[in-house]
């Protein structure tokens, strides 16, 4: 992630089986990180627990319910750039980006 953003060095994307499971995973992770001395952990989305984001400084953790993860598909946003071809009526060969 280092080359794509200054937000964090690592991003972890995981799924829980239900909102309760997502919340439990997030709370357990926070407890474990605090136990290892990580300070200033921020958590968003715990009340609904469809998508919980945990900011642990150099590591961002996203925990989703499976259908929410599929809908937002954030892995696609953070994958390595892949070239694509735009085809229009005016350009039969397309434009390479």
pLDDT tens digits, 7-59: 778 888 999 999 999 999 999 999 999 999 999 999 999 999 999 999 999 99
CA dihedral of 11, 17, 23, 28, whole degrees rounded to 10: -70
- The single residue listed with the structure tokens 């280092």 is 2
Cβ 41 vs Cβ 34: under 8 Å: yes
Which residue segments constitute the domains of the chain, with CATH numbers given? 10-96 (3.30.460.10)
In this prediction, residue 11 carries a pLDDT of 87
Q: How far apart are CA 15 and CA 25, in angstroms?
A: 9
């Amino acid at each position: 992630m280092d080359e794509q953003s200054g937000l964090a060095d690592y991003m972890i994307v995981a799924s829980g089986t239900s909102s309760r499971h997502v919340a439990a995973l997030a709370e357990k992770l926070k407890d474990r990180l605090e136990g290892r001395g990580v300070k200033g952990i921020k958590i968003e989305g715990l009340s609904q627990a469809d998508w919980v984001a945990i900011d642990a400084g150099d590591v961002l953790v996203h925990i989703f319910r499976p259908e929410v993860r599929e809908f937002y598909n954030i892995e696609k946003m953070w994958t390595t750039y892949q070239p694509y071809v735009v085809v229009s009526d005016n350009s039969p060969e397309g434009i390479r980006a």
